[in-house]
């Protein structure tokens, strides 16, 4: 347990990449990315992949290492990331983890919950119900079967809702009963660092980032990906809105405004997710980086 994983968390566009690179340079270590969309090499601009200068400054892992045509789950990432950490901890006492995907970060830090396999027919039936009756009927069904999950999961997210319901129906037990059980112990300590900003500044930074993405060629990138729009990797803010533009459902200006709006909503969910975690050491996004690094290094205690 004499090894540390420093996890840098926070909403999209808040400055995690810059801080993580400065931190990794100071500690002479490497970075593991847990951004679940930056894994895909075809999605460079729309996922705000670190630029070449940033990637050259510090060795990064799990950036553009997969294809959108690959099936790659959070469980796959957990296995790959832990294997990579074992390798990195042979030469470094500290490794930096960074990314906005809270589920993927938690998979590395705490391990995933174990859920038994259930018949895929249940999911098909639930998806059919969703299309026929809408999301409210499924929410009411979960409320009857598993009130704890109804109160704690993101029930506005159809995927999360259906996942909870299929476990309830397939096992006869609540989804909540399988949570936080049988997790694998880690042989490293974790220090969580969070960046925060007033909401108006966070939203301003998001709007600015979307404008920069458009200048960098996001429209052309999305156009190349449009034929594959049904792939899971492309169910992502920044692409879905432009696909609607290509299909004449949106004007281009409206699509861009939708990207900004949906990214702001995503950032709000990230803030809500992180607020639940009392282990995070918070810093203002504009705090002096050298001061942040000084405070973080004071948290490291090697025997």
Does residue 167 have a known ligand-binding role?
no
Measured CA to CA, the distance from residue 298 to residue 187 in angstroms comes to 21
User: Angle between the 199-216 and 218-225 helix axes, to the nearest 10 degrees?
Assistant: 70
Does residue 162 have a known ligand-binding role?
no
Burial environment of residue 115 by CB neighbours within 10 A (0 to 12, 13 to 18, 19 or more): middle
Give the count of beta carbons closer than 10 Å to the beta carbon of residue 160: 16
Nearest CA to 27 out of 91, 106, 105 is that of 91
Radius of gyration over alpha carbons of the chain, in Å? 20
Does residue 196 have a known ligand-binding role?
no
Measured CA to CA, the distance from residue 243 to residue 247 in angstroms comes to 6
Which positions ≥6 away from 231 have C-beta within 8 Å? 68, 69
Does residue 14 have a known ligand-binding role?
yes
Does residue 15 have a known ligand-binding role?
yes
Does residue 267 have a known ligand-binding role?
no
SS3 label, residue 9: strand
Does residue 170 have a known ligand-binding role?
no
Residue carrying structure tokens 């038994």: 116
Does residue 11 have a known ligand-binding role?
yes
**Which residues fall in the annotated binding site for ATP?**
10-17
**Which residues fall in the annotated binding site?**
10-17
**Which residues fall in the annotated binding site for substrate?**
12-17
């Amino acid at each position: 347990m004499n090894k540390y994983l420093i996890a840098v968390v926070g909403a999209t566009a808040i400055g995690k990449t810059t801080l993580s690179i400065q931190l990794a340079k100071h500690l002479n270590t490497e970075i593991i990315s847990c951004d679940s969309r930056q894994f895909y090499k075809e999605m460079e601009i729309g996922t705000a992949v670190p630029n070449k200068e940033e990637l050259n400054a510090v060795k990064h892992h799990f950036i553009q290492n997969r294809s959108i045509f690959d099936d790659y789950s959070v469980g796959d990432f957990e296995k790959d990331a832990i294997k990579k950490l074992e390798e990195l901890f042979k030469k470094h006492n500290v490794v930096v983890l960074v990314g906005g995907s809270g589920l993927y970060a938690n998979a590395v830090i705490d391990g995933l919950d174990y859920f038994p396999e259930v018949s895929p027919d249940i999911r098909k039936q639930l998806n059919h119900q969703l299309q026929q009756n809408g999301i409210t009927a499924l929410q009411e069904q979960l409320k009857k079967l598993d009130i704890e999950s109804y109160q704690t999961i993101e029930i506005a997210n159809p995927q999360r809702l259906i996942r909870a319901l299929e476990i309830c129906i397939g096992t006869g037990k609540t989804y909540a009963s399988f949570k936080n059980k049988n997790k694998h112990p880690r042989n490293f300590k974790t220090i969580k660092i969070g960046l925060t900003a007033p909401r108006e500044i966070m939203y301003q930074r998001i709007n600015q980032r979307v404008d920069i993405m458009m200048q960098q060629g996001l429209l052309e990138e999305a156009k190349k990906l449009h034929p594959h729009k049904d792939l899971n990797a492309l169910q992502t803010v920044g692409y879905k809105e432009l696909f609607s533009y290509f299909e004449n459902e949106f004007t281009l200006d409206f699509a861009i405004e939708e990207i900004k709006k949906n990214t702001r909503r995503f950032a709000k969910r990230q803030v809500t997710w992180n607020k639940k975690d009392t282990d995070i050491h918070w810093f203002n996004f504009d705090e002096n980086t050298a001061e942040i690094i000084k405070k973080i290094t004071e948290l490291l205690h090697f025997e």
